[in-house]
Amino acid sequence: MKITIIGTGYVGLVTGVSLALNNNKVVCIGRQTKKIDEINEGRSPFFEPGLDELLTKAVNNKSLCGSDQLIENVKNSDIVLIAVGTPTVNNKIDLSQIEEVAKEIGKGIKLARKYIVIAVKSTVIPGTTEKIVLPLLEKYSGKKLGKDFGLSMNPEFLREGNAVEDSMDPDRIVIGQADKKSGAHLAKMYESFTCPLLFVPIKTAEMTKYASNALFATLISYSNEIARICETTKDVDVVDVWRGVHLDHRLTPSQSKIVIKNNRVFPGFVSYLFSGCGYGGSCFPKDTKALDAYALELGLEPGIISRVISINRTQPLRVVALVTSGLKKVKGSRIAILGLTFKENTDDMREAPSLPIINELIKQGANVVCHDPVISVRKSSAVTDLGAILVDSAQEALKGSDAVIVLTGWAEYKKLTPSFFKKHMKNPLLIDGRRIYGKDMLESGIDYRGIGYNKK
């Protein structure tokens, strides 16, 4: 495919080289003559291990070149990638370069006589591609999305120092698509790659990039917050602390405990990166609170740990908010709760998110009926003392209910079908507090609402 990449910096050039060496013809557009000349001589304008060698190969086999002719190259392209900078200015993202190139690309689309997909590869906040890039493309081209050109967001996940490896052998390729035609056209660019391709809405692709970077930034800051506590505690070396932490098989699985799905190793750590109604049990709640209090005694401000506790304390109320937004009124309604324990495969109710949720719903006048596979009447005092009713089956809990909230990911709940909910409920409102169901529930006529998903 003929690909034009706007930007000769870190993302643009590394991406260009990898695509050029995978059966594509690539032109990298830049403004500085010196940079363009260096690229055309097979020399990278910046240092990245292994890049010069691959760049030379791509230039010599004429699959990549540098140019300053943006409009001319855009009009002859199959795909145009935007890979310009999006710096932070006054604590806000600066999209001036994005806006500028979108205008120029629009002028190129105007002259084109074929379908072109424009894909944003720069890191941009959700909504940028559709609310800023798209209007400019349509304005300056005089053409419309769909028939004349496609739109996509294709985030990069390159690590500086390992960018060549990440680009030539990526973990995944995320394609945010305005429509299926755009996504399918862009995917042709990656035909020779063997990693998973994930097709998602454009704003989801934009958010995925930020979520990925913020996760690793949080881990670094968290490790440094622990270091501060160690520094203030005599004879505690943070290096020794992390050695003990790292040997947890959820982080560094031994051969006997490796879980493989679709040829991918899934360490247990991944299971903690699913959003839900909060953590509970005998460890996390008390231990985070104790560590927070200890740090305060030392005169430190444990911002990350304190915020972790705060988010977990208020997360159950997000579930209640989903219920109240879906019902005309909570008072007098019958609400079913499926799952009481803080997680599946345990009967532990300590600090379970179900308790504050039940408590709040009853305060608002709801009639709450609960079921859990392992919580019998004998063990249900924590629930019944709040005023809720415990029944023996999910079917009985759902019978005549106005809403159902799933709070534990028990296997038997995962098997429940849309027809099951529709059969036993009035007008099914399903609140998924563990995200064990897919959005396809909506297609079945169920009012589906889940943590982390806004259907509006």
Whole-number Å distance between alpha carbons of 103 and 80: 13
Average pLDDT value over all residues in the chain? 92
- Tokens for 102, please give them: 């979108």
The angle formed by the CA atoms of residues 46, 50 and 52, to the nearest 5 degrees, is: 55
Rg (CA), the chain: 27
Q: 2-201 and 316-450 share one CATH topology?
A: yes
CA-closest candidate to residue 76, choices 49, 109, 102:
109
Q: How much is the average pLDDT of 395-407?
A: 96
Whole-number Å distance between alpha carbons of 321 and 316: 9
Q: How much is the average pLDDT of 374-388?
A: 80
65, 195, 230, 283: which is the annotated catalytic residue? 283
Report the share of the chain in percent with pLDDT over 70. Answer: 99
- Enumerate residues 6+ apart whose C-beta is below 8 A from 133: 82, 98, 102, 118, 120, 151
User: 456 pLDDT band (50/70/90 cuts)?
Assistant: low
Q: Report DSSP letters for 232-254, one per residue.
A: TSTT--HHHHHHHHHTSTTTS--
User: 99 pLDDT band (50/70/90 cuts)?
Assistant: very high
CA-closest candidate to residue 340, choices 402, 405, 436:
405
Q: Is 403 helix (H, G, I), strand (E, B) or coil?
A: strand
CATH fold group of domain 316-450: Rossmann fold (3.40.50)
- Tokens for 351, please give them: 């600090």
The phi-psi region of residue 262 (left if phi > 0; otherwise alpha if psi is between -120 and 50; otherwise beta) is left
- Reported as a single tens digit per residue, the pLDDT across 1-56 is 999 999 999 899 999 999 999 999 999 999 999 999 999 999 999 989 999 999 99
- Tokens for 272, please give them: 């903690």
User: 269 pLDDT band (50/70/90 cuts)?
Assistant: confident
- Enumerate residues 6+ apart whose C-beta is below 8 A from 108: 70, 71, 72, 73, 74, 75, 77, 80, 141
Residue 53 one-letter amino acid: E
Q: How much is the average pLDDT of 267-285?
A: 84
Domain covering 2-201 in this structure, CATH number: 3.40.50.720
Whole-number Å distance between alpha carbons of 111 and 151: 17
DSSP letter (8 states) at residue 158 = P
**Range among 20-24, 216-220, 223-227, 273-277 rated most confident:** 20-24
Residue bearing tokens 């690229």: 39
Q: Is 283 designated active site?
A: yes
Mean pLDDT check: name the lowest of 22-31, 154-163, 196-205. 154-163
pLDDT at residue 258 greater than cutoff 80: no
Q: How much is the average pLDDT of 200-210?
A: 95
Cα dist from 64 to 169, 261, 306, whole Å = 19, 36, 51
The angle formed by the CA atoms of residues 394, 401 and 345, to the nearest 5 degrees, is: 25
- Reported as a single tens digit per residue, the pLDDT across 107-118 is 999 999 999 999
pLDDT at residue 428 greater than cutoff 80: yes
Residue bearing tokens 């019944």: 384
In this structure, is the dihedral angle defined by the CA atoms of residues 70, 158, 150 and 61, taken in order, positive or negative?
positive
CB atoms within 10 A of CB 291: 18
Q: What are phi and psi of 407, to 5 degrees?
A: -115, -10
Whole-number Å distance between alpha carbons of 110 and 87: 29
Q: Where are the domains of the chain?
A: 2-201, 212-310, 316-450
